[in-house]
C-alpha cells in the first residue's frame, strides 16, 4: 500500500494524514473484494523495516491501527469479514495486540472475505523462522531431512492457512517486492499502477482484476494457444 506519504506531501499535509486516507482505501478495496467474490485479501500494513521510521510516525501508525480495528469490528461482523494477521505481531504495542486479538476472535467464523494484515512482517524473517522450526523438528526426530520439500516449508510459514496470492498489486509505481511474501509470490501475476494508495479506489481495483483475468497463467508449461 505505497504512496501514503507522497499523497500527503503533494497536498501539503502531514504524513499521518496520508495514512488516514490510506485506511479509508482499505475499506474501498475490501468492499470491492466482497462485490467480486474474492475470498482473500492480504495488505502489507507495516513491515519489519518500518520499525526504523521516526518514532512519532511509528506511534501515529500504531494509533491509527488501533483506531481502525475499533471502528471496523462491527463493520466486519455486518459484512461477514474475517480478520487474520501474519508477521511478528508480538512486537506491536500491548494495546494494539489486545485490540487485534479481540477482532480476530470476534470474526473467526466469518466466511465472505478473509482480510489478512501483514504487521511487523518481513518475508526473510518469516522464512528464517520457518527454517528454524523445521530444523528443530529434525533435531527432535519428528522428521528426517529427506522428508523436507517445498510443502514442508510452506506449512511452517505464517501464511500456511491461506492460499498463495494470485495477484500482487503495487501502487505508487514501485517495482520491487520489498521483502513481501517472497516464497508465496513465486507464481503470482504483478500489476503496477502509478496511483498512490489513497487514490486507488474500487474502479482501479476492478481494472487490476480485469487486467489479471486477461492473462494466461502457464506455471512453467508451454502455452496451448496458437
DSSP E strands: which ranges in the chain? Answer: 40-47, 81-86, 113-121, 167-170, 189-192
Q: How many CB atoms lie within 10 A of CB 24?
A: 12
- List 81's β-bridge partners, or say none: 113
Which residues are annotated as catalytic? Answer: 2, 50
C-alpha closest to that of 192 among 210, 225, 159, 169: 169
CB pairs under 8 A, 24+ apart, for 198-203? 198/3, 198/4, 198/7, 198/18, 198/21, 198/22, 198/24, 198/25, 199/3, 199/7, 199/25, 200/25, 200/28, 200/29, 200/169, 200/171, 201/25, 201/28, 202/28, 202/29, 202/31, 202/32, 202/35
- Chain-centre distance of CA 56, in angstroms? 23
User: What is the distance between the alpha carbons of residues 42 and 114, in angstroms, rounded to a whole number?
Assistant: 8
Amino acid at each position: 500500500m505505497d504512496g501514503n506519504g507522497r499523497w500527503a506531501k503533494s497536498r501539503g499535509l502531514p504524513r499521518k494524514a496520508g495514512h488516514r486516507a490510506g485506511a479509508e482505501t482499505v475499506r474501498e478495496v475490501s468492499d470491492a473484494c466482497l462485490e467480486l467474490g474474492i475470498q482473500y485479501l492480504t495488505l502489507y500494513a507495516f513491515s519489519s523495516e518500518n520499525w526504523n521510521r521516526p518514532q512519532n510516525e511509528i506511534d501515529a501508525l500504531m494509533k491509527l491501527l488501533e483506531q481502525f480495528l475499533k471502528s471496523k469490528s462491527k463493520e466486519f461482523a455486518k459484512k461477514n469479514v474475517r480478520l487474520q494477521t501474519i508477521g511478528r505481531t508480538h512486537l506491536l504495542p500491548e494495546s494494539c495486540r489486545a485490540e487485534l486479538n479481540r477482532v480476530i476472535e470476534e470474526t473467526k467464523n466469518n466466511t465472505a472475505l478473509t482480510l489478512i494484515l501483514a504487521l511487523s512482517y518481513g518475508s526473510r524473517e518469516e522464512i528464517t523462522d520457518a527454517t528454524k522450526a523445521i530444523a528443530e523438528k529434525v533435531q527432535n526426530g519428528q522428521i528426517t531431512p529427506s522428508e523436507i520439500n517445498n510443502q514442508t516449508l510452506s506449512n511452517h510459514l505464517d501464511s500456511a492457512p491461506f492460499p498463495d496470492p494470485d495477484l500482487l498489486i503495487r501502487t505508487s509505481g514501485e517495482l520491487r517486492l520489498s521483502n513481501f511474501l517472497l516464497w508465496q509470490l513465486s507464481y503470482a501475476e504483478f500489476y503496477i499502477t502509478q496511483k498512490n494508495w489513497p487514490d486507488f479506489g474500487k474502479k482501479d481495483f476492478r481494472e487490476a482484476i480485469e487486467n489479471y483475468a486477461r492473462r494466461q497463467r502457464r506455471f512453467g508449461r508451454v502455452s496451448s494457444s496458437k
